[in-house]
A and B are shown apart, each in its own frame.
Chain A
Amino acid sequence: MEYFIQQLINGLTLGSIYGLVAIGYTMVYGIIGMINFAHGDIFMLGGFAALIVFLLATSFFAGIPVALLLLLMLLVGMLMTGLWNWTIERIAYRPLRGSFRLAPLITAIGMSIFLSNFIQVTQGPRNKPIPPLVTDTYHFGAITVSLKQILIVVITSILLFAFWYIVNKTPLGRAQRATEQDRKMAALLGVDVDKTISITFIMGAALAAVAGAMYLMYYGVASFNDGFIPGVKAFTAAVLGGIGSLPGAVLGGLLIGLIESLWSAYFSIAYKDVATFAILAFVLIFKPTGILGRPEVEKV
């Protein structure tokens, strides 16, 4: 039983990270109906930004409190990736809006290849390890919970709440939802669609940056190809939860995290990704719009 709870906690931590990335996928999909393949690499960029901020901060201010350091890593990472995603949307996606469906998909895949290779070329192909930031652990009987796990879950929860508030209670969120439902109508009613979409990309990137920084903190290593596998899993999470649905993305992320850690614990680590993808396929076969997705209405 303790073992099970332990794995549950590990799964929850991992799931939080996937959930944060999944929100970026699901929001972009909801608002412009495009799979943003480069989002996983935005997550990776966030991790790298945090890594470089960590190096700079620790060498300039030697005894900097860990809390301040973490905050700095998160904030700079969010700003940096927000800027990147804004530029990417402006250059590679906006000119193709209204073009046929596969064109932005191809530019997104191209952007993903470009970003990971850009980091490989500028920062080198080797893994970048950093010393552990947060080392405290707490014991409850046989269960061990580390402070970084608590941090990840707490930060995720705070962000999700803030995010839920923005989308549901603010004028900006209303504009986003309106754009999602009917872009043309929203534009006619005075919503600045371009701006709304840009902000959506920035928000998605900021969440991905937080996820990237926490991934770096959790595993203590960053690599240029870190974007692909977590990216695909987060996308899987978004689809599993029902793409376009925000609670669905979080739910999907948590499910993927739990499946992954429980499968590794009870069956085999080698096949954990196979299990994830197989479950995705099964869910979609029986419920083709995901768990919380709205059924698509076919119009002739």
Chain B
Amino acid sequence: MATVSETVPNNVMAKAIKEGIFAGVIAFLMFSLFVGIETYQDINNQLVWRTRWGLLAVFVAVAAVGRFMTVAFIKPHLDRRKLAKAKAGILEISEEKSFFHRHFLKFALVFLLIYPFLSLLIVGKQGSLKYVDNFGIQILIYVMLAWGLNIVVGLAGLLDLGYVAFYAVGAYSYALLSSYFGFSFWLLLPMSGILAALWGVILGFPVLRLRGDYLAIVTLAFGEIIRLVLINWTDVTKGTFGISGIAKASFFGIWSFDTGSPNNFVKAWGLSASSVYYKIFLFYIILALCMLTAYVTIRLRRMPIGRAWEALREDEIACRSLGINTVTTKLTAFATGAMFGGFAGSFFATRQGFVSPESFVFLESAVILAIVVLGGMGSLTGIAIAAVIMVGGTEILREMSFLKIIFGPDFTPELYRMLLFGLAMIIVMLFKPRGFVGSREPTAFLKERKAISGSFTKEGHG
């Protein structure tokens, strides 16, 4: 093999130039209409066009040079490194772990616990609003949703493309019940979880017979049905206007965060008025909910039902022949996953103070599923890392106003948020098809616990 890898550089160069030119031509043809020509409406509302040769040239150049560099330098380099690794006999999963690696979870938890105060200390009250709310709470909501979906997809191996439906059920349960009956957050939080779980069973029951991609499309359809009903059932849900003025969560009924109320938290503690306290409180609620999800998942994996889920993922027929009731196993997976979606939904409603069907589109389901798969299905740490990178990364893009200096004042980084999100999904999958965390620790083992490669776990067919 060694002789093959040391090919004549000239040969590689020629190939790289050829491929670079080819990529350039392809890119020119592909982008000629969509980038080379801009359509817009003039003053008379007539659709007209103008050319953008400069931008087209940039696209073509990037494609050609990128392809050339890949073939000429990056690929040979990667091949050499792989070969060197293979020669040295380094396995992908090593038993030796660094100190940081071993105690990663403890560090992460401590960091999360002091995160709001850290941001208060560093950027002050007004600045930390952004860091606690946009980054902390936003990411943790996705962590929780992804951990909830992980039960269905990662553990039980049921591909669910309509998970956002349960999120919607949770959010609307809280929004409707609190605005019509005035129930408090602490009563409605478990209630929305139960309602979502109920919907999980209702939706799960008819699809039990379906497998694989049929299951995926029916769950997608259910997700869309729930969203469409929310849009069209205007008497109750107010349609696309959504429900606003949803009550805030109180400090377990002792202190309220409403500015007008007599037992206001800020007044009771003699603090200066700021909404940051409420945000910090919400941060700890969602952190606790996340921990609950993780705890339940970890515990369930060691219980018969969790083992049955994983067995179902590995081989459904073997499961049935061993006497596992696949109906209840699948339904409990659906219900448990949906319950956490419901919790997250009711939290979302109280945090936003406003819910509308806009928040529960298919894209959200796709994002959550992407986080689960990118993190490495079944691995809680991996999923959390994926959520931080994908959600945090797109949030950071909102903050990049300095890019305006480079690209001119018309440049709005927010426009590129989802574009880059889609690209990131593709790139991560191409380089790490098994997700960020490629190893698993089975809960059932013989004699000693060993981390195995993620490639050994199946993803299920159901």
The chain A residues found within 8 Å of chain B, CB to CB, are 29, 35, 45, 48-49, 51-53, 55-56, 59, 76, 80, 83-84, 87, 91-92, 95-96, 99-107, 109-115, 117-124, 126, 128-130, 228, 232, 235-236, 239, 243, 270-271, 273-274, 277-278, 280-281, 284-285, 288-290, 296, 298, 300
Contacts and interface: CB of A to CB of B under 8 A. Distances in A.
A46 B41 CA distance: 20
7 contacts: A51-B39, A110-B429, A120-B415, A121-B415, A130-B47, A239-B217, A300-B318
B224 A273 contact: yes
Contacts of B213: 29, 35, 239, 243
B423 interface: yes
Interface of B: 26, 29-30, 33-35, 37-41, 45, 47-49, 153, 159, 206-207, 209-211, 213-214, 216-218, 220-222, 224-225, 228-229, 231-232, 317-318, 362-363, 366, 369-370, 373-374, 377, 415-416, 418-419, 421-426, 429-430, 433-434, 455, 459
Contacts of A104: 429
A96 B429 contact: yes
B370 A232 contact: no
A113 B422 contact: yes
A177 to B, nearest CB: 20
Contacts of A239: 213-214, 217
B33 A53 contact: yes
Given A49-B33, A109-B370, A232-B220, A92 B415 contact: no
Contacts of A300: 317-318
A114 B423 contact: yes
B379 to A, nearest CB: 14
A160 to B, nearest CB: 23
A121 to B, nearest CB: 6
Contacts, number: 183
A106 B217 contact: no
Given A55-B39, A55-B47, A100-B455, 19 more contacts: A48-B33, A52-B33, A83-B26, A87-B26, A95-B430, A110-B422, A111-B426, A112-B366, A113-B418, A113-B421, A117-B416, A117-B419, A117-B422, A118-B34, A121-B416, A123-B38, A126-B41, A129-B45, A274-B228
A29 B421 CA distance: 25
Contact of B209 (A80, A122, A285): A285
Given A284-B214, A285-B207, A113 B430 contact: no
A52 B228 contact: no
Contact of A103 (B34, B45, B206, B429): B429
A115 B421 CA distance: 11
Contacts of A84: 30
Contacts of B363: 113
Contact of B38 (A122, A243, A285): A122
B373 A106 contact: yes
Contacts of B47: 51, 55, 128-130
Contacts of B41: 126, 128
A87 B30 contact: yes
A280 B373 contact: no
Contacts of A273: 224, 228
Contacts of A289: 214
A44 to B, nearest CB: 11
Contacts of A95: 430
A109 B228 contact: no
A56 B49 contact: yes
Given A51-B39, A100-B459, A124-B39, A277 B430 contact: no
A102 to B, nearest CB: 5
B432 to A, nearest CB: 9
Given A95-B430, A103-B429, A121-B419, A113 B366 contact: yes
Given A87-B30, A110-B422, A280 B218 contact: yes
A51 to B, nearest CB: 7
